[in-house]
Amino acid sequence: MENKRTKILVSLAALSIGVIGLVIFLQPITIETDTQEIASQEENLLAQSAPPVLSNPKSSPQIRAAGAYLMTNGEPLYALGDKKVWPIASITKLMTAFVARQVIEPTEEIVIGKEAVAAFGDVGEFGVGEKFKADDLVKAMLISSSNDAAKALAMHYGEAEFVSEMNKVTREIGMSNTNFVDSAGLSPRNLSTANDIGILVRAIWASDPEIFAITRLPTTTIVDIDKGRSRKLYNTNIFAGRRDFLGGKTGQIPDSEGNLVSIFQVPLKSSPVIIVILGAEDRFKETEKVLKEL
């Protein structure tokens, strides 16, 4: 685990875009905190959550926060309350995938338990006792946003320990206004900011870009190991399959409204651009508006 985490920090310290040969040096700080400190951080973040609706003459007033950042160095290209804390819902699953691919072997077989199936939603149509490879559960989680798959991955490792790893990574990569309490994003206490989500995207892009390659797929199939049956899953993201779309993740619970993080190749920009929309009535429409302003 430590070797993989070291590779993440090294990648972040030398994030480069090959086509331009640009190297940006980062200095993430690892902060050691105990359970009491994490609980205190959560209280502070909850106190900052649910900011008033923000408005901008060039954008819709029906969003809570937004941000756009260059992938190479995180340079902000657009910001609208991008440090406001907000429930991020299933955007959480990006961190879940990031951690799962560090601590669980992709070919490891995972049995779906009762608690996983009991998670809200039935995407993937998982049944108790079914068995899947870990990488198939990651696909189900990223493409169709399966809560069952996210829960199964965390429970396989040890749910409390898995969430602890998620929060440990947030501190290592510098997400100072983020806290996770579950792996699926079902709790409104999974809190972050547009700026912090941008940091997470850059960390994943630097050390495990295959995660975003998965999120670009309009559909995928997973296989029930025991029965040998394939199951087709569809992407919740309407941008999937679009040529300029390089990856992203949707997220929505009643407390969060519509959330979306996207990566686009933008003409005349030196690197891909990250766009984060939080608390939107129409997250895809708001993303398009920001994209047009860049």
User: Which residue(s) pair with 233 in the sheet?
Assistant: 220
> Quick one: average pLDDT of 233-257?
96
pTM of the shown model: 0.82
- pLDDT higher at 227 or 49: 227
**Over the chain, what is the mean pLDDT?**
85
Q: Which of helix, strand or coil describes residue 81?
A: coil
Q: Return d(Cα 143, Cα 186) in angstroms, integer.
A: 17
**Residue-level pLDDT at 25:** 30
CATH number of 2-53+85-241: 3.40.710.10
Q: Return d(Cα 68, Cα 274) in angstroms, integer.
A: 5
Amino acid at 154: A
The residue written with tokens 């129409």 in the block is 282
> Quick one: average pLDDT of 274-285?
97
Both tokens of 191, joined, read: 């809190």
For the cut 90, the answer to whether the pLDDT of residue 28 exceeds it is no
Q: Residue 58 — pLDDT band, cuts 50, 70, 90? A: very low
Q: Residue 34 — pLDDT band, cuts 50, 70, 90? A: very low
pLDDT over 90, % of the chain? 76
Q: Residue 18 — pLDDT band, cuts 50, 70, 90? A: very low
Where exactly are the structural domains of the chain? 2-53+85-241
